[in-house]
């Protein structure tokens, strides 16, 4: 009886450890990106948190964009996925020190997502953008 109990306890521990290895943990990455010109004047800010769901997908529960300049130029942001495709450009036309947000911004790709680049831009004749890259910790 003691041998059976010990075997069941060991089997239970192995099952728990195997379960941990099978289900990847959600990893969150905060981002905070400013678009600014060469003299350091900031025009726009994008921020939020990226939840890396697994190797193939991510979600941003709430993405924020703020227009920091009082220059009558709209601001926008978008995401590039592995230099393969880009997401929707999300514009904000609110003006001086106003803010917009988008809920549940997400993407998935059957080939996997190794890295995303988030761009924040000021919409001028030739858009002025700054960006940061974020790697998927599930790779």
> Is residue 113 one of the residues assigned to a domain?
yes
CA-derived radius of gyration, the chain: 21
In this structure, what CATH number is given to the domain that contains residue 60?
Answer: 2.60.40
Instruction: For residues 116 and 138, give the distance between their C-alpha atoms in angstroms, rounded to a whole number.
Output: 13
Determine phi and psi for 4, rounding to 5 degrees. -65, -45
Dihedral sign of CA atoms 27, 24, 53, 129 in order: positive
> Is residue 104 one of the residues assigned to a domain?
yes
Strands 27-36, 42-54: parallel, antiparallel or unpaired by DSSP?
antiparallel
> Is residue 19 one of the residues assigned to a domain?
no
pLDDT (0 to 100) of residue 26: 64
Q: What is the pTM of this model?
A: 0.80
> Is residue 54 one of the residues assigned to a domain?
yes
pLDDT tens for the chain, 139 residues: list them: 433 333 333 334 333 333 444 345 567 899 999 999 989 999 999 999 999 999 999 999 999 999 999 899 999 999 999 999 999 999 999 999 999 999 999 999 999 999 999 999 999 999 999 999 999 999 9
What's the domain count of the chain? 1
Domain range enclosing 121: 26-135
> Is residue 6 one of the residues assigned to a domain?
no
């Amino acid at each position: 009886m003691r041998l059976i109990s010990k075997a069941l306890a060991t089997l239970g521990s192995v099952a728990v450890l195997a379960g941990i290895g099978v289900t990847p943990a959600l990893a969150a990455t905060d981002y905070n990106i400013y678009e600014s010109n060469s003299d350091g004047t900031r025009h726009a800010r994008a921020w939020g948190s990226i939840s890396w769901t697994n190797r193939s997908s991510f979600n941003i529960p709430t993405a924020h964009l703020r227009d920091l300049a009082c220059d009558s130029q709209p601001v926008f942001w978008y995401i590039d996925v592995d230099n393969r495709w880009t997401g929707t450009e999300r514009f904000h036309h609110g003006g001086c020190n106003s803010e917009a947000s988008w809920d549940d911004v997400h993407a998935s790709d059957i080939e996997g997502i190794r890295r995303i680049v988030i761009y924040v831009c000021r919409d001028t004749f030739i858009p002025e953008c700054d960006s940061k890259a974020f790697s998927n910790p599930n790779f």
